[in-house]
Amino acid sequence: MKVLVIGGGGREHAIVWKLSQSDLVDKIYCLPGNAGISEIAECVELSPGDFSSIIDFVKYEWIDLTIVGPEEPLARGIVDAFQKEARRIVGPCERAARLEASKVFAKDFMKRHNIPTAPYRVFTSYLHAEDYIKFKGAPIVVKADGLAAGKGVFVAKTVDEAIEAVRLIMKEQVFGKAGERVIVEDCLDGEEASFMAFTDGKTIIPMVSSQDHKRVFDNDEGPNTGGMGAYSPAPVVTEQVKRKIMSRILMPLMKGLRQEGIEYRGIIYAGLMIKDGEPYVLEFNCRFGDPETQPVLMRMRSDLMKVCLAITDQKLDETRLLWKKEASVCVVLASKGYPGKYEKGKVIHGLEMLKGRKDIMVFHAGTSFSDGKIVTSGGRVLGVTALGKDIKEAVKRAYSAIELIKFDGMHYRKDIAAKAILRENR
């Protein structure tokens, strides 16, 4: 079978890598792809937003299945466009993708269906938001309503920080139309976790848990990013917590979607805060997380292609997922200046020394070729991902591998999974 993966980041590299292990897959295409993906798939120079050209390409190449990585095409209705042409695609339709595309929609949906989340208010006026923040005090969370590449959430420690966040979103319009509305919500304390699941609209099957590191610097300092590293499993997601996530969040979510006449097929991602063993939803995403996908798929034993076909055929109830017992850790290597302005075109050295390792995989996020050399082309450049018998061993292997990689301005956090190791040692 032929499969197309849409996207060009670390998440998509992990998806392509996992698909390449399937006996069902004969050929993989990826658009636009990156330097690492090009080693195992044919990269296609098409824009992920050019739906008509993508569909023409799928028809011309007789592609059997398309998998969408990033949120933007989903939010703009690529699944609806494919379905009109009777083409198989994994991902939610435009209406369902509003769970990620509009934080206001998601919060209102959770309120309607009694899904646990932080109390909130929605504002279209800067002055009203400012008054409310002064009334509520800090810490408090400010969110842009629309898509902002993982950077539209501000956890403000002071009232001034919160007001500045609203100013950036609504007055400076740093996220464009995504900031026409803002959510101001109570700040939940506890420990964050990421929980992803496959669903065909009828059946929902959870993946192993994971945890992301959003802030750019150690000790969770600095601005939010798309993610500076992740690990799996997340020790905070015990079996008891997992049962609560399924019964109080994901099952009510799917029931609520059906009640509102919204069919959801694909991957659902719940960004959670766990406090005293109780899960609360911070956000929903409508696709694989990045970088959580890298450690999660490193642990997956099952055939991803078979799972994706079961989603499109609504036969997920016939599927059983198998996972490796080992832990996995991903450390993101970023360009200097990320998540702000950064330079591109820096030559990456040392990648060849890590090829062929079964316990290490370097997933490319922002890379391309220049004069035959692999160079940086994005803010997040690589995701060095390692397996180990436990999180501590996986961390050690990941950071040992990083010592072999060099590029000008390379930045990475030194404390990925540190909290998990402390929890393991208790």
Tokens of 409: 């301005």
Contact 332, 365 (CB under 8 A): yes
pLDDT band at 151 (very low <50, low <70, confident <90, very high): confident
In Å, how far are 114, 149, 150, 266, 341 from 214, measured between CA atoms?
27, 12, 8, 24, 17
Domain 2-91 top-level CATH class? alpha beta
Q: How many CA atoms lie within 13 A of 328 on its CB side?
A: 26
Report the CATH fold assignment for 125-180. Answer: Dna Ligase; domain 1 (3.30.1490)
For 367-389, what is the mean pLDDT? 97
- The CA distance from 357 to 229, in Å, is 20
Tell me where in the chain the CATH 3.30.1490.20 domain(s) lie.
125-180
- Give the per-residue pLDDT at 224: 85
For 2-14, what is the mean pLDDT? 98
pLDDT band at 421 (very low <50, low <70, confident <90, very high): confident
390-409 b/e (C-beta count within 10 Å ≥ 16 → b): ebbbbbebbbebbeebebee
pTM for this entry = 0.94
Instruction: Return phi, psi of residue 299, to 5°.
Output: -95, -10
Please say if the pLDDT value at position 9 is more than 80: yes
The per-residue pLDDT for range 280-333, each reduced to its tens digit, is: 999 999 999 999 999 999 999 999 999 999 999 999 999 999 999 999 999 999
Tell me where in the chain the CATH 3.40.50.20 domain(s) lie.
2-91
For 367-388, what is the mean pLDDT? 97
* Gyration radius from the chain CA atoms: 21
Tokens of 145: 């309503």
Residues sharing a CB contact under 8 Å with residue 131, sequence separation 6 or more, in sequence order: none
- The CA distance from 125 to 171, in Å, is 10
From the list 401, 395, 397, the residue with the least C-alpha distance to 414 is 395
pLDDT band at 55 (very low <50, low <70, confident <90, very high): very high
Q: What average pLDDT does the chain have?
A: 96
Residues sharing a CB contact under 8 Å with residue 5, sequence separation 6 or more, in sequence order: 12, 15, 16, 19, 28, 29, 30, 31, 41, 66, 67, 69
Q: Does domain 191-425 have CATH number 3.30.470.20?
A: yes
Please, which residues bridge with residue 30 across strands?
A: 5, 43
